[in-house]
Structure 1
Amino acid sequence: MTQRKEAPDWLQEQKEHWTRVARGRSRRDVLKGLGAAGMAGLAGCSGGSGGGATATATATEGSMDSGGEATTTDTATSTPAEVSGSMTIFHAGSLAPPFSEAEPQFEDEYGVDVNREPKGSVASTQKITQQGRRASVLGVSDFRLIRNRIVPDYGDWYAIFTTNSMSLQYREDSPGADEISKDNWWEILSRDDVTIGHADPAVDPGGYRAVMTQQLGKEEFEGSALYDDSTFQTIRENSTVPTGTETKLEGQLQSGALDYAFYYQSIASTSGLPYIDLQPQVDLSRATSKYAEHYAKAEVETSSGTFTGAPIAYGMTVPNVAPNPAAGAAWVEYFATDAGRSILENQGLVPVDPIVVPQSSRDAVPDRVMNVATAKSSLGPLEL
């Protein structure tokens, strides 16, 4: 019996688009094209380091998005604030590769000195909400941390700008590496001689999403589960949170301290180590109502809160305590341009084009961000 193919959702369409882009153009071609057109377009849109250009965004009132939702947009012409000085960015560890690649290009374009602090998204958020620290940008791998913990006391808005999925990474000499596949990974991981690592769920969404991935494998989806509760319990017994941050997982895999690690596909696909793309019912990649309902069956309790499964969506904001809000807004804007989206794609992420901001807070969004964004009340099944 042939299974009916599910209609593509907004995330899958983005992923397929950028996969085609990657296949059609080499990295050198991308950067060459951006050097001639992308960066010039960015300067013309945002005003560049001089901040004097005028940006115009045009859309139709009451237009419909791909999910059938009415969106309210209008024609806006504004001159964004001039950008200069320096800024600090608190951000997720999984954003370190694209943010590191973007940093020198952004600094050259805007004349801003960028200082970044990568850490788990929960811990990055707590720097603002619990430690009283200030940053001009907060970038997290789970936008809900901004929606639920930053807004409204520490910020007024956020933008969803990229997506990801969970994967399983290992070494070529990991126990069972010569046998493992997408169809049996749980059998390998439930063996006695296997050590599985993931980030700390209390400080990093990559950690609680790893546990969710394991949980979802035992939950029925379309009439069947990947494995039973006993296999799940064994996988959990074989799982550990290694010392160090989530960015240390690859090093501990290479050293042999870990045999397998659950982490983001963006990290796995750019690391040089072998990895497995997981089934969509466990990898948190599909933003449809059917998958979102399934993902919500997963729940992880931690010392920093309880987290429920949902499609992966990254968010950025300029907090109210930002020392340099103009530079922060320019950083968010940058990842809505061809240059920024290409960097995300180069680093294994799936850009959201255009970036999306909540309809309820669109009046608080800086002009230079609103000029390259669309405002919605939801994105697929995700409430904004």
Structure 2
Amino acid sequence: MSKQRGGRNGPTDRRSFLTAAGATAAAFGLAGCIAGGSGVGSGGSTETPVEDGMDTEGNGGDTTTTSSGTDLEDSMTIFHAGSLAPPFSEAEPMFEEEYGVDVTREAQGSVASTQKITQQGRSADVLGTSDFRLVRDRVLPEFGDWYAIFTTNSMSIQYREDSPGADEISAGNWWEILARDGITIGHSDPAVDPGGYRAVMTQQLGAEEFEGERLYDDATYRQLRENSVVPTGTETNLEAQLESGELDYVFYYQSISASSGLPYVDLQPEVDLSRATSAYAEHYAKAEVETGSGTFTGAPIAYGITAPSVAESPAAGAKWVEYFATDPGRSVLEELGLVPVDPIVVPAGSEDAVPENVMSVASAQETLGPLEL
């Protein structure tokens, strides 16, 4: 059973991030909006991690009529963030059985997943990213017409029972442990995965003042960066590299840490990117990470999902989005440590482009708390 240290900000507490969209203004304290820049098979297991540049055949063909009378294509392809692999994997067989659609998924970093569509010319019926700004800024308008924000997360630190300093680490001293000589900290590649650039942001924010205090000084931040590495492989390999001893600690999403079976530390809200208030968003925006794929600015974590305009099975794609906007999908998200947006939120400016079945379970907004849509 996993051991949690200093759990200040678990899934229940993070529910304050997102409440019913009808009460958005009151819940989020809209004291001005901050626009974060982003620069940004069938039957069995069908998740297919692939490297950039690989290609697969598109799906299409026959349609299936659901009990509601909706005609769906018989197969669909989903590109998605690695941190969405657990809920999407859990939902896949239930979705396939209910709607008669064979689902093929490819899990990779959200930047890389987006680039499959925008740079490699590939088709997907659903794109799910851990940073909605990638869809807003890189997919629309050329490769899509709309998107929805459907869930959120926070940053945490995973480790092993025998990691150096494991018997000492807590929410109140994690930076002291991780800054020690000989410690190896891992995170995914910031150029291809928001989990990577958010790991760097978390470290940056600890050295920035919030309400007159900061967790540590600049020298500690520099040592954290000195101890940090981007290991080989994709974001989905971090846990295996931690377990093997290649890494001592890993910065990763709380949903992954909470369901991994490994011990973990929940971080302070001033560094974990979980709070969607104007004060926290302004603080998060102090963090900035330059990568080969763009410059990314800190903001509260919010996941985006869309059925791109290049979809070959658009009705199936829209049905998948609807699924995660209703009880079956929301239950899966909650069980696996994410906090669903209820109802999901779509930008008011693209409301007319949203499929009717998605719009029926969504709320159109200009902003979501401090996030500009």
The verdict on a shared fold, with TM-score over 0.5 as the criterion, is yes
**Is 1:67 aligned to residue 14 of structure 2?**
no
- SS state of the match for residue 354, structure 1? strand
Taking the TM superposition and a 5 Å limit, the aligned residue runs for 1:1-384 are 12-13=15-16, 65-68=23-26, 81-384=70-373
- Structure 1 CA distance, aligned partners of 2:69 and 2:84? 26
Q: Deviations over 1:98-133 (max 9, x none)?
A: 000000000011100000000000000000000000
Q: Which has the higher contact order (CA 8 A, sep 6+)?
A: 2
1:64 Cα deviation (Å)?
5.6
Shift of 1:83: 1.4
* SS state at 1:66 partner: helix
Deviations along 1:234-258, one digit per CA (max 9) or x if unpaired, are 0000000000000111101100000
Give the greater-gyration-radius structure (CA): 1
| Aligned residue type for 1:65 | A
Whichever residue aligns with residue 294 of structure 1, its letter is: H
In 1: Cα distance, 2:24 partner to 2:291 partner = 36
Aligned-residue RMSD, C-alpha: 1.7
CA drift at 1:165: 0.1
Residue identity in the other structure for 2:131: D
- The amino acid of 1:301's aligned partner reads E
For 2:289, the aligned partner's letter is V
Deviations 1:200-243 (A, max 9, x none): 00000000000000000000001011000000000000000000
CA shift digits 1:167-199 (9 cap, x unpaired): 001001000000110000000011002000000
Q: Secondary structure at the match of 2:25?
A: coil
Q: Which residue of 2 aligns with 1:7?
A: none
Cα distance in 1 for partners of 2:17, 2:173 equals 28
Partners in 1 of 2:169 and 2:293 — Cα distance? 34
The answer to whether the Cα contact below 8 Å between 2:152 and 2:340 also exists between their aligned partners in 1 is: yes
Hey, what's the Cα distance between the residues in 2 that align with 1:355 and 1:64? 11
| TM-fit CA distance, 1:16 | 9.5
Unaligned runs of 5+ in 1: 1-9, 18-62, 70-78
Q: Once the 2 structures are TM-superposed, how far is the Cα of residue 11 of structure 1 from its aligned partner?
A: 5.7
C-alpha distance in 2 between matches for 1:16 and 1:251:
35
4+ residue runs over 2 A deviation:
10-17, 63-66
Give the paired residue count.
321
Q: How far did residue 67 of structure 1 move?
A: 1.1
The answer (yes or no) to whether the contact 1:14–1:351 under 8 Å persists in 2 is no
1:195, 1:260 within 8 Å by CA — same for their partners in 2?
yes
User: Which SS does the other structure have where 1:156 is aligned?
Assistant: coil
- State the alpha-carbon separation in 1 of the partners of residues 136 and 14 from structure 2: 20
- Distance in 1, Cα, partners of 2:111 & 2:361: 27
Provide, for residues 125-165 of structure 1, a one-character-per-residue CA deviation record: whole Å limited to 9, x for no partner. 00000000000000000000000000111001000000000
- Structure 1 residue 309: deviation in Å? 0.1
Label 1:64 to 1:259 Cα distance change in 2 as closer, same or farther (>3 A).
closer
Q: What secondary structure is seen at the aligned counterpart in 2 of 1:225?
A: coil
> TM (normalized to structure 1)?
0.81
Could you tell me the percent identity over the aligned residues? 74
Native 8 Å contact 1:80 1:367 kept in 2 = no
Pair 94,64 (structure 1): closer, same or farther in 2 beyond 3 Å:
closer
For the 8 Å contact 1:12–1:286, the answer to whether it is kept is no
Is the 1:355–1:374 contact (alpha carbons within 8 Å) kept by the matching residues of 2?
A: yes
Structure 2 unaligned residues grouped into runs of 5+: 1-12, 31-67
Query: For the structure 1 residues 255 and 284, does the alpha-carbon distance in structure 2 shift closer, same or farther, using more than 3 Å as the test?
Result: same
Look up the SS of the partner of 1:104 in the other structure: helix
Give the TM-score normalised by the residue count of structure 2. Answer: 0.84
**SS across alignment from 1:247:** helix
- Distance (whole Å) between structure 2 residues aligned to residue 86 and residue 212 of structure 1: 38
The 8 Å contact of residues 358 and 377 in structure 1, kept in 2 or not, is answered as yes
1:5 paired residue number: none
